[in-house]
Structures are given as structure tokens and as C-alpha cells.
Amino acid sequence: MLKRLRGVLAGSVLVAGVLAGCGQNATPAMPAALHVTVSILPQRYFVERVGGEYVAINVMVEPGASPATYEPRPEQLRALSVADVYFSIGVPFENAWLERFASVNENLLLVDTTQGIERLGEPGNPDPHIWLSPALVKVQSQTIYETLAQLDPAHQGTYRANLESFLADIDALDADIRETLTGVEDRKFMVFHPSWGYFARDYGLEQLPVEVGGQEPSAAELAALVAGAKQEGIKVIFAQPEFSTRSAETLAKEIGGEVLLISPLAPDWLDNLRRVAEALAKAMQK
């Protein structure tokens, strides 16, 4: 059975480690049939919704840390030695750590939850933020369900029921977001770190990034951003707590606007996206 699963999920080996978790972020689950490690907090939400009480979940990237630069602590690597499965999601730090994760536990099943998803971004440098699209989270949740059901067939019925409940909630979220954005004519918003590309694509929005390629803007680039923001009538610069807000604050001061924090890594994924949609709608209203 496990051999068959490894065959089905062979492509997952490439992306499995960036945001996995353990240690302080472990979510108590009793009884725990499976020990699961994920890369980022939103993934914990997905696995909890599908696995329910039959999974114990560890998160690699801790609250407030960046999945682009995170380095696991030694105790996190030790905790991987008892994990059954690692769900990767394609964040940058996985590229440096995946092989080391596998070396810690030769029985660890690495599952790439980006499988079946068309990525935005440049070839060789895809946008990792697939968890910010409700439509793509449905795809990821299906992969999670299939993996848990294969590893723990005794609870497949429960996993399936949990999946169906989660998918219904995602559909309701999607409808709420579309309603929130109805009537917003100016669909552009300015954000420090370009995390919201998939979200913007899904809902007909356009994100204007301050940071490009992981670099803060030069003086000339900042001046161009100020001019662009004034031309578009933008008064809100969105930033996230995991990154420096210095450039965003400078830009906001120049345009007589403000900085608002929205996190793509909030643990309550469903509520977070609903709140982000409300914040964007308010900011884009003229």
C-alpha cells in the first residue's frame, strides 16, 4: 500500500520540506493515528480540517518567521524522525532542506501538495503562495485527503466526510469574497511583498508590489512607486508582519497614506482570507 502511494506521489519528493513543523507548534490530537509535518501554519489548518482527531500536526516555520529564510531548529529535525508524512508546499526554504529532512527519517513520506497546480511566476522561480487561492486550496486538500486515506484506510470515511465539509466551507468563502469585492471599480492595490498574486488572479485584482525579487526598492524605484501610487489614487500600502515595513512606511508617508498589515501566514486560514478581502475592498474604494 505504501509502495503504491509512493508511486502515485513520486513528484512530491522535490518539494517536501520548506515549511514543515514541530516542537512548540505541535497541535494536540487524540487519538493520533498519523504524525504529520507541514511547512507553514495555513497547512496545519488544511490538515486539521481533513484529518480531524486522527492526526498530530507539527509546523516547521514558526509564527513570525519567514518561509523564505527559515532554518529549522535541531529539536525540529529530531521530531521529524517520528513523522509519517511531510506535506511540502513549494516555499523557498524547502529547496535547501528537503534532502536533509529525508535523511532524518528514511520512512518519511514526502508529499508535494503543489501537484496538479499551474504556478504563476517565472520559469524556475514559481510563485509559492498557492495557499492564498481558495480554488487551489481545494486541490491541495484533495491531495491531503488521498494521502491520509492511503496511510490510514481505517478512517477513510471520516477523512472523506471532513474533506466534503471543508470544501463546502471553501465554496462559501469564495462566494463571500466575490460579494465583498462586488462594485469595487478600481481593482489595483499596492503591497510590499507580492504574496497575493493567486488571490488577485482569482478575483480580478492587480497587485502592485513594492518589493521585487526579494529586494527593497532603490531610491529611483521608490520615487517611481510614489508617482504610480499618486496616479492610481492609492492611499493604503499593505505589508506583512514577517517582513520589514520600512519601505512601505516611507512610501505611505510620501503619498499621505497608511500602512496596513495583512499576513499570508495567519493560522485561521478561512477567517484570514475573509478579513483580507474586506480590507482590500475598503482600500480600493474611492
148 HSE (CA, 13 A, CB side):
35
Determine the average pLDDT of the residues in 138-144: 98
> Residue 2's pLDDT is what?
37
Does the structure show a pLDDT above 80 at 254?
A: yes
Assign 13 a pLDDT band (cuts: 50, 70, 90). very low
| 177-235 pLDDT, tens digit each | 999 999 888 889 999 989 999 999 999 999 998 887 667 788 888 889 899 889 888 98
Does the structure show a pLDDT above 60 at 4?
A: no
Total residues belonging to the chain: 286
Determine the average pLDDT of the residues in 149-159: 97
Helix, strand and coil in the chain, % to nearest 5: 50, 15, 35
> Residue 41's pLDDT is what?
97
Global pTM value: 0.85
**Three-point CA angle 77, 81, 82, nearest 5°:** 125
Does the structure show a pLDDT above 70 at 176?
A: yes
| 108-137 pLDDT, tens digit each | 999 999 999 999 998 888 999 999 999 999
Q: How far is the C-alpha of 99 from the C-alpha of 239, rounded, in Å?
A: 32
Mean pLDDT of the chain: 87
> Residue 261's pLDDT is what?
93
Does the structure show a pLDDT above 50 at 103?
A: yes
Least confident of 15-29, 121-135, 197-211, 245-259: 15-29
Is the model more confident about 18 or about 108?
Answer: 108
Does the structure show a pLDDT above 50 at 82?
A: yes
| Helix H or strand E segment including 85 | strand 85-88
Q: How far is the C-alpha of 24 from the C-alpha of 47, rounded, in Å?
A: 17
Determine the average pLDDT of the residues in 88-94: 95
- Site of grid cell 504563476: 120
Does the structure show a pLDDT above 50 at 30?
A: no
- With contact defined as beta carbons under 8 Å apart, do 182 and 84 qualify? no
Architecture of domain 183-284: 3-Layer(aba) Sandwich (3.40)
Q: How far is the C-alpha of 37 from the C-alpha of 56, rounded, in Å?
A: 8
Least confident of 32-36, 153-157, 212-216: 212-216
| Same fold: 2-177 with 183-284 | yes
The structural domains of the chain, with segments of one domain joined by +, span: 2-177, 183-284
Architecture of domain 2-177: 3-Layer(aba) Sandwich (3.40)
